[in-house]
């Protein structure tokens, strides 16, 4: 009888140990999942903060250009007109010339500030995440291997192509997923955009892709070639856009 009781207790103890181990493993798994979720949430919040800051810089640059810039330009034109009107009065013309020179210097300083703000307002990874968030494609996955920000013309080119690619993936291919990959090599930058949509009526054939058929494709190709790069599209097994831009031309 005592032996049976001891055996029962041993079995219960072993079962309890297994239950404790299982609960501990489940807790560890949930904790790992929670940490991963928290990390992704912080990354998303950081991207939103950067996106808001970049959007604000862009807005300030636009306001400076459209507001202060136009007023200074108008003032410069009026000053030059007054120089013509008072050309018989050397002293007045000289003073107006000094005013015009000051306005021109202010305009140039403002242009430098606007360009600096505009350049700071371009962050490729952030703008691509904003495109992904606003895209009609349900799931857009971004993998960035950039070591530093490319020059502004490259950023604008990649953004334009990614926007066009995501629009086409949602509108024509009805894709559920799209992937954007950025690579930073010693001699060139590369972006690859892929989607898992099915070929729809009107999807270009391999020949049409090589020939650059379609206004959207021609526009993308023109953007890339203007920067000395190349664009290649493969329609199968998944529709993929390969963009390569050499750094020596940037």
Residue 34 maps to a domain = no
The ranges of the chain with pLDDT < 70 are 1-28, 30-68, 113-122, 199-216, 249-250
Residue 5 maps to a domain = no
| Cα distances (angstroms) measured from residue 25 to each of 46, 79, 115 | 31, 79, 55
- Whole-angstrom distance, CA of residue 161 vs CA of residue 153: 12
194 and 114 housed in the same domain: no
- Whole-angstrom distance, CA of residue 193 vs CA of residue 200: 18
225 and 169 housed in the same domain: yes
Per-residue pLDDT tens for 29-84?
A: 766 665 666 565 556 556 565 656 666 666 666 666 566 677 777 777 888 888 88
User: What's the domain range around 139?
Assistant: 124-249
Residue 42 maps to a domain = no
137 and 203 housed in the same domain: yes
Q: Which residues contact 83 (CB under 8 A, 6 or more apart)?
A: 93, 96, 97, 100
71 and 132 housed in the same domain: no
- Whole-angstrom distance, CA of residue 171 vs CA of residue 168: 5
109 and 131 housed in the same domain: no
pTM over 0.75: no
Between vectors from CA 166 to CA 223 and to CA 151, what angle results, nearest 5°? 40
């Amino acid at each position: 009888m005592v032996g049976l009781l001891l055996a029962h207790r041993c079995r219960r103890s072993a079962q309890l140990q297994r239950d404790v181990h299982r609960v501990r493993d489940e807790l560890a798994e949930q904790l790992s999942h929670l940490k991963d979720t928290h990390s992704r949430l912080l990354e998303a919040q950081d991207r939103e903060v950067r996106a808001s800051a970049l959007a604000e810089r862009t807005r300030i640059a636009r306001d400076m250009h459209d507001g202060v810039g136009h007023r200074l330009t108008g003032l410069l034109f009026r000053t030059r007109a007054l120089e013509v009107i008072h050309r018989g009065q050397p002293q007045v013309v000289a003073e107006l010339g000094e005013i015009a020179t000051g306005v021109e210097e202010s305009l140039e300083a403002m242009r430098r500030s606007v360009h600096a703000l505009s350049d700071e307002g371009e962050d490729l990874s952030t703008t691509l995440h904003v495109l992904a968030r606003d895209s009609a494609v349900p799931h857009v996955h971004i993998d960035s291997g950039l070591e530093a920000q490319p020059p502004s013309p490259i950023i604008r080119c990649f953004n334009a192509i990614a926007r066009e690619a995501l629009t086409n993936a949602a509108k024509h291919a009805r894709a559920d997923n799209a992937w954007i990959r950025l690579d930073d090599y010693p001699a060139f930058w590369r972006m690859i955009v892929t989607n898992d949509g099915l070929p729809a009526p009107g999807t270009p054939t391999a020949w049409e892709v090589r020939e650059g058929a379609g206004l959207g494709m021609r526009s993308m190709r023109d953007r890339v070639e203007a920067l000395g790069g190349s664009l290649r599209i493969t329609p199968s097994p998944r529709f993929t856009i390969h963009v390569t831009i050499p750094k020596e031309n940037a």
